[in-house]
Amino acid sequence: MKPIDIDDVLRSALRQEVAETAAGLDGLEERIVLELGERRPRLRVGEWMRQLIAPTRSGRIGQLSLVGATAAVCLLIGFFAATRFSLDGGSPAIRLEPSRNADGTQEVLFVLPALDANEVSVVGNFNSWEPTTLSDEDNDGIWTASIPLPPGRYEYAFVIDGRWWGQDPLADEYVHSFGEYSSVRYIGGGDGA
């Protein structure tokens, strides 16, 4: 047999093999994508929490702001839902707006999520900028204080382990004061209150 004939035979055999395999290659790309999709790792709740509290380059306040913002959004959604819906149809739900006392003051709730904090207080023009301590009795990182205040405009900031933090997500507005932020709440009154 001539060498050229051997070459032809080999080519022919290869063509036949490719033709037989080609049928099995139909839709291969789609199948691979589908398979990869099924095997893609899903972020579990535990993993998500670990990532959330992992150290960041921005340091402690960076973590706080991330966790704080998440908690604040959850709180706002919770408060909104609580003010809109009531499970038993009659009992008072959690209220975002302050409750009014007999002497005209209103119980104003100050809330700050600060997971790693040891001490949180609030300072403002209602306490002559002297700290009023917030409490976290169930150690869930949500610090609260209810302070009776007469109607008016109140500037304040939180102090987290000695560091001032002037941006309360629940504030009505923010102002610059001595190069830092202060939060503002309007109690009672018109549009902004």
Partner 1 sequence: MRVARRARWIGPVVLLLVALGLSAHAEIPLADYEAVLLAIPVSDLGHVLGAIEFGLSQPDFPAFETMQYLDRLAASRYSAQEREALLSDIVVALEEGLPIEGLVTKGLEGLARGVPAAGIQQSLHQRLVLLAETRDLLYAKGIFSVAPGSPQSVDTALPTPRFNLLVTHISDTIADYLEGGGSPFEGQTLMQEVRFRLTSLEGAILNATDVELVLKRIEPADLTRVALSAVS
What does the binding site for partner 1 look like in residue numbers (CB under 8 A)? 123, 125, 128-130, 151-153, 155, 164, 172-173, 175-178, 180, 182, 186-193
CB of 69 to partner 1, least distance (A): 22
CB nearer partner 1, residue 67 or residue 109: 109
CB nearer partner 1, residue 78 or residue 150: 150
CB of 137 to partner 1, least distance (A): 27
Q: What is the distance, to the nearest Å, from the Cα of residue 149 to the centroid of all Cα atoms in its chain?
A: 29
Q: How many CB atoms lie within 10 A of CB 44?
A: 9
| d(C-alpha 180, C-alpha 158), whole Å | 12
| d(C-alpha 153, C-alpha 146), whole Å | 16
Contact 184, 172 (CB under 8 A): yes
Strands (DSSP E) contained in 89-141 are 99-100, 106-113, 120-124, 132-133
Which of helix, strand or coil describes residue 108?
strand
CB nearer partner 1, residue 123 or residue 142: 123
Which of helix, strand or coil describes residue 172?
coil
CB of 38 to partner 1, least distance (A): 53
CB nearer partner 1, residue 79 or residue 156: 156
CB of 103 to partner 1, least distance (A): 11
Strand order in the sheet with 106-113: 99-100, 106-113, 142-149
Contact 58, 72 (CB under 8 A): no
CB nearer partner 1, residue 151 or residue 169: 151
CB of 178 to partner 1, least distance (A): 5
